[in-house]
A and B are shown apart, each in its own frame.
Chain A
Amino acid sequence: MGQSGSFMDLSINGQPRPLPEGATEPDMPLLWVLRDVLGMTGTKFGCGVSACGACTVHVDGKAVRSCVVPLSAAVGKSVRTIEALGTPGEPHVLQKAWIAHQVSQCGYCQSGMLMAAAALIEKNSNPSDADIDAAITNICRCGTYPRVREAIKTAARELRGAIPDGKTRPERLKAFRSCPLITSKDPCSSLQMLARAMAAL
């Protein structure tokens, strides 16, 4: 207990985050260090047993469920949370896609959902449905899943476009138009237009 000196090494979103003396214990989960010690409340508590994913953050680039990661295991590593996924000026591709597809409802699970999705597409910029099924095991009681799936595909597409992939813009646009959201008779036609315009950029 009280080895606060070594906790000085905790790095969150690229910043060293010193922890107040005696505020934490080595076995305290990272989730509670973020929320209750550092006041970073974007990462959520949902189940406490690694079952729902609301607390998902990245540790050294990997999506982890911070409710079961002891502080001692995060020390010396690079922690990234929803607060640093993007900035208002430069939103993450997923955040743009989340707006285009109007994904969120109550919003509570969305931080974890976005962090899990970010870990997926940053590793695999062309995820198949099966890849998405396997990577996104977070629980959402509002049922945003269909839009999460489409938003991930849209974001991955933009990511691929931003990275030279040998495709021309018309090719990317054609691929985007074959996306199920665009072809289905969804009432949100203006959103489709928005998404389509984004892809064409």
Chain B
Amino acid sequence: MKRRSLLLSGLGGAGALLVGWGMLPMRSRMGSADTLPVVDGQVGLNGWIKMTSDGDVMLAMPRSEMGQGVHTALAMIAAEELDVPLSKVRLVQAGHDALYGNVVSFVEMLPFHPSEREPGSETRTLATAQWVVSKLARELGINVTGGSSSVSDMWDVLRLAAATARAQLVNAASLQWKLPAAELAVKDGVVSHSSGTSAHYGQLSKMAASTRPGDVKTKDPVEWKLIGTAAPRTDLPAKIDGSAKFGIDIREPGQLYAVVRHCPCLRGGVGRVSADAAMKLPGVERVVRLSSYGGSTEGMAVVGRTSWHAMQGARALDIDWRAPAAGAPNTKAIMAALEATARKAAKEDGGFSFYSRGSLKDAQQSAARKFEAVYRAPYLAHATMEPINCTAQVKDGKVTVWAPTQVPGIARAIAAQVAGVADEAVTVHVTYLGGGFGRRLDVDFVGQAVRVAIETNGRPVQLLWPREEDLTHDFYRPAGVAVMQASFDAQGDVTGLAITSAGDAITPRWIERTLPNLAGPVDAPDKTVNDGLFDLPYGIPNERIAHVATHSGVPIGYWRSVGHSHNAFFSECFIDELAHESKQDPVAYRLSLLKDMPRHAAVLGLARDKSGWGTPLPAGRARGVALHESFGSIVAEVVEVSIESGAPKVHRVVCAADIGTVINPGIVAQQMEGAIVFGLTAALYGRVDIEQGAVQQTNFPNYPMVKLAQTPVIETHLVPSTRAPAGAGEPGTPPLAPALANALFALTGRRMRDLPLC
């Protein structure tokens, strides 16, 4: 079935209901003056902004800070439109109103090729689909920090909310002083007139709340003072003196500590448990059986006076584990099955075609030469530095949760479900996240914490997974295999590209366990697993890009850059192979295929120039390049590598990126550096092996990470852009592995088609 026909039949099926709903205007994301709760003389202006009596701005913050700098970036956008210094913007956690939902992260799930998405030349199908999904996402209002979408999602919403608030404040001064608004100036949150009259926002806010904003215009980019500057991160001071509060740092009066021990076999169960030895240990208070919550494997929790006491107790439990009913997964068998599936589908035009153009059959039949390669990528764990944890209290019919989560609304829902209370009886406090990378889009640990808190007589309990539980019971980046086939004509030009990949669908599994009410009986095609294959920018006239969604039985989830993380390795190494087959320079070859994609060509050109591509290197070193678009941003990376003591040593990575309008170039550079180091760890070492259902990698000694000594010099260069902001947190990761593998090929002549490279 073709993507378009499926989409249209879906739309048709919903029928008349949809038409009626479609006539209604889109749900507003502005909120009203009474959306935000107020105390101590605060005045609400809309769902995003309230003023304190001394003129500070309180900004409702729905997105989670997990290192990506979003608290700073979003505060900068509000400060810019309000004309206040960044230091006057204070954050207050947003509630669960639908207006705080993330619309862009859902719209971005639509499988459209970049050529159909270009602003101004969108196809009608695209415009319709985007409209429907936006409207639906606004109704659902699901609060997600993910998909590198926080800034792009809130860019228009936040600027309009802040500009509207500013207009109300200025108009209030105008009314009060009987002076035309056009004669009033605003600086640092103070409205003033040349006559000397002035008042700060706090003094004007009461009147502003009932003053019309009039015609609201957001600033022209030439008026920006803060946007585009490397303003220091507002969260940084607390992160260098130990005062920043992560989930694991919650300390409430009377708090207990619980430690989880899961069935070692993924999806296995708990049989007979003997807790006698554990209960005899000092500081051990209670043992709780954990069934499956939000997709977790069953296990046990031991409650103790401290995390350490609970750990001793968890170790001392004597448990008969039960094998999973569906059979225990093995990665060796899964990888073989994925490859067989992909090869079979490649032969039979099988799988779901996410994109096709021209006639691949004709190109293949008339080909003067064909070239084929098979690529493979393993499962990966997230390994956030802050181990998985959540604190919960169940008392007097109310539930309080302190969670490092990327999805506070979904966390609230599972807490309510486990405690058997209404959503409204649950309060979720979102803490700082010690890394997310997609792991904290799942809420299994929230369900477990609430389950344990039911047993602690109203005392709060902090549930913690030791590192071993984290690595062996993650929702892993799915393994993938791709069969890549190219056809060349008699002139040696590439005329056909067929990519047939196999791997588990991510989104349907995530929806099943986190938003079960939205899960359908049949999986919709999941574009996220094909991201980075179906949407290639290269002008190859005939293409068929298809994917076979498999069911491996391994719990899988979103991992920084999701499908792009391995698909960019497949596609950008293969393009490099085509360059080599065509006896052309890898950069020149790509550029020859990017004649209709000027932004991609510009990014690649910048990386070429800044890296000194083509200039001599010290003996024993080579360069490799990769170019990849993800989350609306285009990134090229040039890697310089040598072999030292038999292992690759990366010396330098030059990164060029077009991410649209840049809010804070300092944070963007940080994100590119971080994404490159994250990608380097995965490229060099990242693999999760499963034997008889048990993950073999248990802690950092056998799931190694790149450390400071292995970190290359990283340079980031941004292409100036006036487009709307796109993603920053993830797009730096995908190009690293292919750029490194391509550099190793240039150095050694050996083509590496399997990750990891070491």
Which A positions have Cβ atoms within 8 angstroms of B?
Answer: 1, 22-23, 25, 28-29, 32, 35-37, 39-49, 51-52, 54, 81-83, 85-86, 88, 95, 98-99, 102-111, 114, 132-134, 136-149, 180, 184-191
Contact = CB atoms under 8 A, between A and B. Distances in A.
The A interface, classified by DSSP as helix, strand, loop or mixed, is: loop
Nearest to B66: A106
B699 interface: yes
Interface residues of B, number: 75
Given A42-B242, A44-B434, A186-B716, A145 B711 contact: yes
B22 interface: no
Given A141-B435, A143-B677, A146-B713, A36 B666 contact: no
A105 B434 contact: no
A186 B324 CA distance: 52
Contact of A49 (B245, B701, B713): B701
B750 interface: no
Nearest to B387: A45
Contact of B670 (A99, A105, A107): A105
A106 B67 contact: yes
Given A41-B251, A106-B434, A143-B674, A133 B237 contact: no
Interface string B230-251: 1011011111111111101101
Given A42-B242, A143-B677, A105 B67 contact: yes
B235 A107 contact: yes
A180 B712 CA distance: 13
A138 B717 contact: no
Nearest to B674: A143
A37 B306 CA distance: 7
Contact of B434 (A47, A108, A148): A108
Contact of A186 (B433, B669, B700): B669
A82 B610 CA distance: 39
Most chain A CB inside 10 Å of its own CB: which residue of B69, B240, B306, B718: B240
A99 to B, nearest CB: 6
A102 B701 contact: no
Contacts of A180: 713
Given A36-B308, A82-B242, A190-B230, A106 B665 contact: no
Interface in B428-482: 432-437, 464, 466-467
Interface stretch (B9-17, B513-521, B628-636, B702-710): B702-710
Nearest to A193: B230
B306 A191 contact: no
B379 interface: no
Given A36-B308, A108-B435, A143 B701 contact: no
Contacts of B464: 45
A142 B233 contact: no
B627 interface: no
A188 B69 CA distance: 15
B639 interface: no
A106 B699 contact: no
B352 interface: no
Contacts of B671: 105
B402 interface: no
Contacts of A39: 251
